[in-house]
Amino acid sequence: MSRTRLVVATSNPGKLKEIGELLGEMGCDLDLSLYDGPVPEEDGATYAENALKKALWAHERTGLWALAEDSGLEVLSLGGWPGVRSARVAPSDAERISLLLSRLGSSPDRRAVFVCCACAVGEGFRLLAEGFCFGSIAEGPRGEGGFGYDPVFVPEGFRRTFAEMGASAKNRLSHRGVALRGLWRLVRSHGLC
């Protein structure tokens, strides 16, 4: 029996690595590849719009099943900022973190939530699942792992940032892990894999 071929619509190598690890931990026997063409602008008003747009784009250009996700960090005391534009508020991870910490200042309310919407598209199906991880923003960056806002996000009930956790621990807790596990339950319940 041949393995299902799946193209991941992202230009972020950190996301591709994490998605591959997560799918592997779930026992998904996939031929995973990176969609290496241009991806459309993430200009949707929601994570779901952006994820679906990228997955459809990659599926239409490759004819393969496509997986895409969009995620962001929402800080409660900042009215949900940076939200759906999390990756686009500054040019680099370090600059995005610096801007976040500057805006947050010495606010005692550092509650935040990571949000993810994952989407799988193939011939005749479009499946979406969401994932959330609640936590807070640390006073400053800590740890060497992960990417994006991982060095300042402390999941609820923990003292370490995502960047201080190993990949396996982070994947169990993360918004992306929750969304992908939900998405794969949908894929299996529809008899697609």
Residues acting as catalytic residues: 70
Beta-carbon contacts of 180 under 8 Å, excluding residues fewer than 6 positions away, are 19, 22, 23, 26, 69, 118, 129, 131
Query: How far apart (Å, rounded) are the C-alpha atoms in residues 44 and 47?
Result: 7
Q: Which of 147, 183, 181 is nearest to 51 (CA)?
A: 183
The answer to whether 151 and 94 have CB atoms below 8 angstroms apart is no
The answer to whether 53 and 44 have CB atoms below 8 angstroms apart is yes
